Amino acid sequence: MIVPATKRRPLVDGFQRRISYLRLSVTDRCDLRCTYCMPERMQFLPRKEVLSLEELYKLSLGFIDRGVTKIRITGGEPLVRRDIIDLVTALGRHLGDKGHGGLEELTLTTNATQLSGHADALARAGVRRVNISLDTLDPVCFAKLSRRDALPKVLEGIAAAKDAGLKVKINTVALKGVNQDELPDMISWAHGHGFDLTLIEVMPLGDVDEDRVDHFLPLSKVREALQKHWTLIPSSHDSGGPARYDTVEQTGGRLGMITPLTNNFCAGCNRLRVTATGQLYPCLGGGERVDLRAALRSEQPEANLEAALVEAMTIKPEKHHFDISTRGASPAQPRHMSMTGG
């Protein structure tokens, strides 16, 4: 039973931040192996540890009841989860304009390899925007970076999303010596198609087969380089996340930058992340955790879920402490981004 928006008790953390955004990971599995994200021989979770779609739905309702208005489905790769469209469709019924109220936005982050077969269904379920991760338009670089030869499928998926009327935002991790020289072309390509593009600094999350220090590219440097050819006009656009936007005068498109390393954005953090096993991490870069699966599977799921959310508010840290300056240093957290949900 969903409580009307006016009666909901909002989630507010110890730093008076109102939490309205849930990133829900529906699987830790993926059909790519991006080198900065996971090792080639990534160990995935046994399936029995992962919440069922019904459990993920129930959990989501608990969050909506506590004032969460935006849910992003993520992973791992969310579209490799069997029947994922059923969950998206069920959640879509809670979008504000569909009668039950509660959700203002339901969205998805995907690598787009399987998007061509799902774009229409996502649009029908009420999804209006998708974030698509694409780090290069060069097939050779793509195959090396993701360890899979999948660029044609990804481009097909992007085209299908556009055709289905989904608003596309491209997310690109900026990597020194990998896609650094290609970034202006990617921005021009995205803007030419009417897509916003957001650049992201690589974060030290989970062990991978390389040292991320070798590829870390501060976005302050990228900005400097872009400004030699383009005029970046600061924009007040807010997509509800940590990106800060500029409009590129020459292309007319929007360019976002997510700078967890060079410019910490935690003061305005409005989100929580739940893994596919129901572990709630109030901070991407922190180890604090609450076990929602235990609450959900207990004798009194509603009361225990409520208590778990209250606890999450007390343990959400003020900020993360990422550092990517020392070769050979351990990652800030042993969890990969594919586990916590990107």
What is the binding site for ligand SAM (CB under 6 A)? 30, 36-37, 74-75, 77, 109-111, 133, 171, 173, 200, 202-203, 205, 337-338, 342
What residue is closest to ligand SAM based on CB?
342
Q: Do the Cβ atoms of 153 and 190 come closer than 8 Å? A: no
DSSP one-letter code for 205? B
In the complex with ligand SF4, which residue's Cβ is closer, 70 or 336? 336
Q: Is 335 in the site for ligand SF4 (CB under 6 A)?
A: no
**Least distance (Å) from ligand SF4 to the CB of residue 33?**
5
118 by DSSP, 3-state: which? coil
DSSP one-letter code for 241? S
CA gap 1, 49 in Å, rounded: 27
Two structure tokens written together for 15: 């730093």
**Least distance (Å) from ligand SF4 to the CB of residue 110?**
8
**Least distance (Å) from ligand SF4 to the CB of residue 28?**
8
Query: Which of 70, 338, 339, 341 is close enough to bind ligand SF4 by CB under 6 A?
Result: 338
DSSP one-letter code for 217? -
CA gap 311, 13 in Å, rounded: 9
Q: Is 34 in the site for ligand SF4 (CB under 6 A)?
A: yes
Query: Which of 13, 77, 196, 201 is close enough to bind ligand SF4 by CB under 6 A?
Result: 77
Query: Which of 76, 157, 204, 206 is close enough to bind ligand SF4 by CB under 6 A?
Result: 76
The one of ligand SF4, ligand SAM, none whose footprint includes residue 33, by CB under 5 to 8 A per kind, is ligand SF4
Point out which span in 74-82, 123-131, 157-165, 319-327 binds ligand SF4 (CB under 6 A): 74-82
Cα–Cα distances in angstroms (integers) from residue 231 to residues 5, 31, 150, 173, 243, in the given order: 42, 38, 34, 22, 18
Interface with ligand SF4 (CB under 6 A), residue total: 12
**Least distance (Å) from ligand SAM to the CB of residue 332?**
10
Residues 113-152 that bind ligand SF4 (CB under 6 A): 133
Which residue, among 111, 63, 120, has the nearest Cα to 88 in the 3D structure?
A: 120
Two structure tokens written together for 231: 């005029």
| Residue 217, amino acid | L
**Least distance (Å) from ligand SF4 to the CB of residue 268?**
24
Query: Which of 11, 37, 168, 248 is close enough to bind ligand SF4 by CB under 6 A?
Result: 37
Q: Do the Cβ atoms of 265 and 278 come closer than 8 Å? A: no
How many other CB atoms are found less than 10 A from the CB of residue 25? 30
Q: Do the Cβ atoms of 245 and 199 come closer than 8 Å? A: no
CA gap 157, 159 in Å, rounded: 5
151: part of which helix (H) or strand (E)?
helix 151-163
Query: Which of 60, 111, 131, 340 is close enough to bind ligand SF4 by CB under 6 A?
Result: 111
**Least distance (Å) from ligand SAM to the CB of residue 203?**
4
Chain residues in the site for ligand SF4 (CB under 6 A): 30, 32-34, 37-38, 75-77, 111, 133, 338
